[in-house]
A and B are shown apart, each in its own frame.
Chain A
Amino acid sequence: AIQLTQSPSSLSASVGDTVTITCRTSQGISGALAWYQQKPGKAPKLLIYRASSLESGVPSRFSGSGSGTEFTLTISGLQPEDSAAYYCQHFNSYPITFGQGTRLEIK
């Protein structure tokens, strides 16, 4: 199974900051990666698909990049509502796997 390792596991930032979350895969997956946001008690929400495509309705401050084995999610101009957990997911092959998650706290 392809392993996904996210870093950092948690971070704290202020409103207006820019943060980057990294997802490294144990083998190359081309661009077969998605990013999700999850708030406490809620279902995950799709943010980014195919590594860099922004899901409809998601604010443009969210962006994704990368290919091969290293991918990043960048949030520019942090807002209070961005406080959440973020997960990457590969869909290159079965079994599908998720990263362990990154918890973002807004100071």
Chain B
Amino acid sequence: EGHLVESGGGLVQPGRSLRLSCAASGFNFDDYAMHWVRQAPGKGLEWVSRISWNGGSVDYVDSVKGRFTISRDNAKNSLYLQMNSLRVEDTALYFCTKDMDGSGLNPHDGFDMWGQGTMVSVSS
């Protein structure tokens, strides 16, 4: 059975940067698209970003475009989220999730594996 383990969260001041990591195991990481989904304290789920199996296609929610960069290293079975110019409203638990498909664009699929999340708190 596969696992996803996030790391890299923490408390940071507005305007600063953080890099989240997600270590994958137990499945063929380079066959699947991956996503980051976040959840602000006491709130619902918000999709943040997608990356295809080979990193050739990426998407972002409008609120993070130009500030966040998703990437992956298939040789290391790892997913990353570089977060720059952090804002108070970026405060959330960030989940790494696996798509059922390699592109992440198959409308018939869902996110079938989730990590436990890493908390990002942005405050002065």
Whether A associates with B in a native complex is: no
Q: List residues of chain B with CB under 8 Å of any chain A CB.
A: none
Q: List residues of chain A with CB under 8 Å of any chain B CB.
A: none
